[in-house]
Amino acid sequence: LRVNFSVIQKDSGFVNGLIAVLHDITEQEKIDMERREFVANVSHELRTPLTTMRSYLEALAEGAWKDEEIAPVFLQTTQTETERMIRLVNDLLQLSKMDSTDYRLSKEWVDFPIFFNRIIDRFEFTKNQNVTFIRRIPKDAIFVEIDEDKVTQVLDNIISNAMKYSPEGGRITFQVKQEESRITISVSDEGVGIPKDNLTKIFDRFYRVDRARSRKLGGTGLGLAIAKEMVTAHGGEIWAESVEGKGTTISFTLPYDAAEDDWS
Ligand code: ADP
């Protein structure tokens, strides 16, 4: 519902009336509005790297290519921007695949602790920053029926954010909690945190708390939106908790059946 107010005011400044017009925004209008906003966002996200690249390429063409110091820097920037665009387009394709009606998960039974540890190992082996990983993951098997590729992407997006926003020497804690009908997976960091008002918005497409910082860190603003779609497709939920300046925890749930898992 949208409400427009008009004040009826005499030349003397005396207010003698108020007109309120109520507009009921239909579902279709809302979808149209979101679509327009999405296209505008995508265009903006693509235009920024493209205009950057154009300036650098122009400079190179006008003679900067001969400068042994400047040329490699300019080429490097063009390359970084190209890579960002590739990431962006891949993320967009991923989202559009999920939006289509024939979107299906290919689920398999997976022992979650083993699966999760393997993903964390990958980050641990390849990390090139000083962060400590703490694993609070049950040793026993917990079988869940999931699409491995999709949940891998959810975790990749969450963990790479935790790394991006972690300070030097920070700790990242990985946790799995098992309940009767679901498991809760959480990743906590000791980074900058997220202001309270933005905690739900970070799952919106293209929403970033700090646009400049996200860009600098190579973000597309789509990682958590993709994670949310994938978690929802599994019948789970995803949310964020954070204390500014202290750190952030991103958690999500996956359906689990304790009775079914009781093989003994
Ligand atoms: P991006 O590509 O910008 O990281 P995401 O969708 O992954 O996009 O995240 C959206 C925004 O949420 C980020 O730009 C950042 O502002 C915020 N955010 C996500 N994870 C964290 C975190 N662990 N700590 C602080 N801010 C975060």
DSSP 125-174: HH--S--EEEEE--SS--EEEE-HHHHHHHHHHHHHHHHHTPPTT-EEEE
Cα–Cα distance, 213 to 219 (Å, whole number): 9
Q: Which atom of ligand 1 is nearest to the CA of 192?
A: 25
Residue 134: pLDDT band (50, 70, 90) is very high
Quickly list H helices, the chain.
27-61, 70-99, 112-126, 148-164, 211-216, 223-233
pLDDT at residue number 262? 63
- Kind of pairing between the strands at 182-189 and 143-146: unpaired
Q: Which of 86, 123, 153, 161 to mutate to test the pocket of ligand 1 (most atoms within 8 A of CB)?
A: 161
pLDDT bin (cut points 50, 70, 90) of residue 10 is: confident
Q: Which residues have a Cβ under 8 Å from the Cβ of 66 and sit 6 or more positions away?
A: none
Q: Which pLDDT value is given to residue 8?
A: 77
What pLDDT, in 10s, does the model give residues 188-247?
999 999 999 999 999 999 999 988 888 788 788 999 999 999 999 999 999 999 999 999
ipTM score of complex: 0.98
57 to 65, 75, 209: CA distances (angstroms): 9, 8, 31
Specify the higher pLDDT residue, 99 or 165.
165
pLDDT given for residue 17 in this prediction: 82
Q: Give the residues surrounding ligand 1 with Cβ less than 6 Å away.
A: 157, 161-162, 165, 189, 191-192, 194, 202, 207-210, 214, 219-225, 248
Ligand 1: which of 41, 214, 244 to mutate, most ligand atoms within 8 Å of CB? 214
100-114 pLDDT, tens digit per residue, is: 777 789 999 999 999
How many angstroms from the chain centroid is the CA of residue 193? 15
What six digits make up the tokens of 75? 């080429």
Prediction pTM value: 0.83
Cα of 248 to ligand 1 centre, how many Å? Answer: 10
Best residue among 202, 238, 248 to mutate for probing ligand 1's pocket (most ligand atoms within 8 Å of CB) is 202
Contact 172, 131 (CB under 8 A): yes
Is the pLDDT score of 263 beyond 70? Answer: no
Rounded to the nearest angstrom, the distance between the alpha carbon of 78 and the centre of ligand 1 is 24
Residue nearest to atom 3 of ligand 1 (CA): 221
Yes or no: say if 95 and 205 are a contact pair by the CB < 8 Å rule: yes
Q: What is the pLDDT of residues 49-71, one digit of tens each?
A: 999 999 999 999 999 999 999 99
Q: Is 23 exposed, middle or buried (0-12, 13-18, 19+ CB in 10 A)?
A: exposed
C-alpha 219/C-alpha 241 separation (Å) is: 20
Q: Please tell me what DSSP assigns to residue 66.
A: G
Q: Is the pLDDT of residue 261 over 70?
A: no
Q: How far is the CA of 75 from the centre of ligand 1 (A)?
A: 28
Most confident option among 4-8, 21-25, 145-149: 145-149
Looking at ligand 1, which atom is closest to the CA of residue 215? 3
Atom of ligand 1 nearest to the CA of 157: 7
The overall average pLDDT reported for the chain is 91
pLDDT > 70: percent of the chain: 98
